[in-house]
Structure 1
Amino acid sequence: MKLSARIALLFLAVTAPFAPMLAAPAIKLLKVDFPDTSSLLIQWVVTLSSLFIMPTLLFASTLAKKISRKSILIVGLVLYIIGGIAPSFVNSIPVILVFRAILGLSIGLISPTFNALIAENFLGDERTRMNGWVTAINGIGGAIFLSIGGFVASFGWRSVFLSYSYAIILLILVVLFLPKFPPVQVQGAKSTSTAKIPAVFYLVALLSGLHILLYFTIPTSLSLYLAEIGVGTASSVGYFSAISLFSIFLAGLAFPMLTRIFGRFIVTFGIVLYGLGFLVESYATNVWMIAIAVFLIGFAQGLFFPMSFTKTAQLVPKERLTTAISILLACIYAFQFICPIFMNAVLSLFGFSSTRDTFLIISILLGVSVIVSILVSKRVQSQSARVAESK
């Protein structure tokens, strides 16, 4: 694949899993302008698109067999531009949510298509590097746009949605530089019927959803949490989200090296970072503690995200990759959507009066997960050693 095509493909990463959170700086401002609207409904301005990603994900693999992947990406980007920018011109939360749904439909076309192209066109260490670069580009791109979003939030929430205009540049890059990849070629009825997605993949998909749920507490709950503890301003959530995305960028760059260093314990390392992040966040009293917390949480997410796609490409037969990636993304986006529901449910279930208590409970559960992860990793290591000895 030519360098120009690789660049165009990589830049599509910023339209994917973290695109919904670009609206995060608008949450507090929307609450002020629409005081009679419930907090949950306003939080859905960030996460509703994640729910509507799934309808297009369900038939993404079918489309890939009939239409060139370049055409799918172009249609997806046009819808992305409409769904992203249009909320700037309306005066109703329900109408804003309609356009956020259109944004979700567009991501459901774009995300599995470009992830499948990476899985199909790169192998081994090169695939690991590309997935790391995707995460890095996603992080640094999101950090830049969220920083801009945090700045333009001072001009009102409408300006925040205008930050989605960057997708016009991505559309131009795809039209000019991305090859017209043909539809997915089916090798024959027999091969498609016998090629199965292994059961362990569904565990990977579920765990991927759980770690994205943890990360999405930043764009969905941080704004209200900052107001609750009296830290920061309306623009602060944009800057803190940008810090988390910058740490994702760093983790994406370091992912291949850290994978070699930690081996099977890379998952344990990521859980430790997540746990520390939520622990610091639960005791935060100033902007510096919040900044450290979101940096740790972002770095952990930057390790888990490429790990999910690399593992999927290793486990699933090539002819089922688009379907498997669609399922993986469906889990990721479903858990994005339920994140605010989860946070509100924990508050109600335990009778907490503060989000601070929820963050503390999450950190304790992650501490337990660290112990489980270590035990599982040691067991797998010992089993591998016994297999090697038997040979």
Structure 2
Amino acid sequence: MNLRSRISLLCLSVTATFGTMIAAPAVKLLAVAFPDTNALLIQWVVTLSSLFILPTLFMAGYLSKRFSRKNILIIGLLLYLVGGIGPAFASSFTLILVFRAILGISIGLISPTFNSLIAENYQGKERTQMNGFVTAINGIGGAIFLSIGGIIASYGWREVFFTYIYAVILLILVLLFLPKFPPIQSHEQGTESSAKLPRFFYVVAIAGGVHAMLYFLIPTNLSLFVTDNGIGSVSAVGYLSALSLIGVFVAGLVITLLTQVFGRMLVPFTLMVMAVGFLLISVAHSIWTAAIAVFLIGFAEGLLFPMTFNKTAEIVPKGSLTSAISVLLSCIYALQFISPLFMKGTQLLFHVSSSRETFMLVAAVLGLTMIGYIPFAITRKLQERQSA
């Protein structure tokens, strides 16, 4: 794959996580514009797309066997533009949610397609680097556009959705530079249908969904948290969301190095970083403390996300990668969708009354998980040394 094709493929990564997050600066404004709408529905403007990604994901294997992957990406990007920009012209909150559903369907076409192409065409260290670059580009692209979104939010919620126009550039890149990538051949289809996914893969997929859900506690709650606690304005929400994605960007650049330095201990290290981030935001009373917190949470997610895809590519047979990535993304997007419900459910279950207390509880659980994972990591490391 030449450099132009590689760049085009990498640029598609911003449609995944960033595609749903870009609406985050508009949450508070939508709550004001639609005062009779339930607060949970307002938050779902950020995560509703994740629910509608799921049906398309389950069709990914079928579509990849019958259509060129390039054509799938083109259709996906056209729907992405409709679903992304559409809410700017909506006159009712219901119609906004309809457009967000269309956005989810488009991401369900794009995300498994470009992720499976990376898994199929790159191996070993090169695959780790590519997944790191995907995370880095996702982070820096999201940071730039969420910063713009934070500025635009001062003009109104409709203007925030116009930032989805950037997808026109992605569509041009795909049309001009991406190879056609023909449908998966019949012998590959047979391999995929006959091979069973390893049991451990499902553990990886669930873990991937959980860390994505925890990360999305930030964009779904940050707008209300910052403004209600007097920490900052609506514009500051855009900057803070962007800063979390800068953390994702930095992590994507250094993951190869950190993998070499920490080895099996990289997972507990990452859990510790995320726990510290949630601890800091639970006690934040200034914009600077909140900024450090969201950066650390983003940095941790920027490590966990590519690690999840790397592990999937390691343990799943090549012929089953498209199906496996679809299952993995299904877990990620399903748990992203229930992120607001997780917040409300945690508060009811543990009788906590504020976001601060919920963030503190999440930090404690992450800390305990880190401690519990360390013996497992040490055991795996010793087994590798013995087998070597």
Task: Give CA-to-partner distance per residue, 1:322-341, whole Å, 9 cap, x none.
Answer: 11000000000001100000
After superposition, residues 248-263 of structure 1 pair within 5 angstroms as 248-263=248-263
After superposition, residues 231-242 of structure 1 pair within 5 angstroms as 231-242=231-242
1:46 has 2:46 as partner: yes
Letter of the 1:159 partner, please give it. E
Change (3 A) 1:193 1:217: closer
Partner of 1:16: 16
Worse-matched range after superposition: 271-280 or 377-386: 377-386
Structure 2 residue ranges without an equivalent (≥5): none
Rounded Cα–Cα distance in structure 2 between residues aligned with 1:4 and 1:361: 46
After superposition, residues 1-391 of structure 1 pair within 5 angstroms as 1-187=1-187, 191-388=191-388
Worse-matched range after superposition: 365-374 or 68-77: 365-374
Whether the aligned pair in 2 keeps the contact of 1:150 and 1:239 (CA below 8 Å) is: yes
Rounded Cα–Cα distance in structure 2 between residues aligned with 1:274 and 1:259: 17
Change (3 A) 1:290 1:189: closer
Rounded Cα–Cα distance in structure 1 between residues aligned with 2:374 and 2:230: 38
Worse-matched range after superposition: 375-384 or 108-117: 375-384
Task: Give CA-to-partner distance per residue, 1:157-179, whole Å, 9 cap, x none.
Answer: 00100000000110011001101
Rounded Cα–Cα distance in structure 2 between residues aligned with 1:71 and 1:194: 27
Letter of the 1:68 partner, please give it. S
Task: Give the TM-score taking structure 2 as reference length.
Answer: 0.98
Task: Give the TM-score taking structure 1 as reference length.
Answer: 0.97
Secondary structure of residue in 2 paired with 1:357: helix
Change (3 A) 1:39 1:193: closer
Whether the aligned pair in 2 keeps the contact of 1:51 and 1:334 (CA below 8 Å) is: yes
Secondary structure of residue in 2 paired with 1:231: coil
Secondary structure of residue in 2 paired with 1:187: helix
Superposition RMSD in Å: 1.1
Task: Give CA-to-partner distance per residue, 1:268-294, whole Å, 9 cap, x none.
Answer: 111000000000011101000000000
Whether the aligned pair in 2 keeps the contact of 1:186 and 1:319 (CA below 8 Å) is: no
Give the superposition deviation at 1:354. Answer: 1.2
Whether the aligned pair in 1 keeps the contact of 2:188 and 2:319 (CA below 8 Å) is: no
Letter of the 1:75 partner, please give it. I
Whether the aligned pair in 1 keeps the contact of 2:191 and 2:320 (CA below 8 Å) is: no
Which portions of structure 1, spanning 4 or more consecutive aligned residues, are displaced by more than 3 angstroms? 188-194, 385-388
Rounded Cα–Cα distance in structure 1 between residues aligned with 2:144 and 2:82: 21
Structure 1 residue ranges without an equivalent (≥5): none
Rounded Cα–Cα distance in structure 1 between residues aligned with 2:155 and 2:228: 23
Whether the aligned pair in 2 keeps the contact of 1:145 and 1:163 (CA below 8 Å) is: yes
Letter of the 1:312 partner, please give it. T
Letter of the 1:180 partner, please give it. K
Whether the aligned pair in 1 keeps the contact of 2:65 and 2:189 (CA below 8 Å) is: no
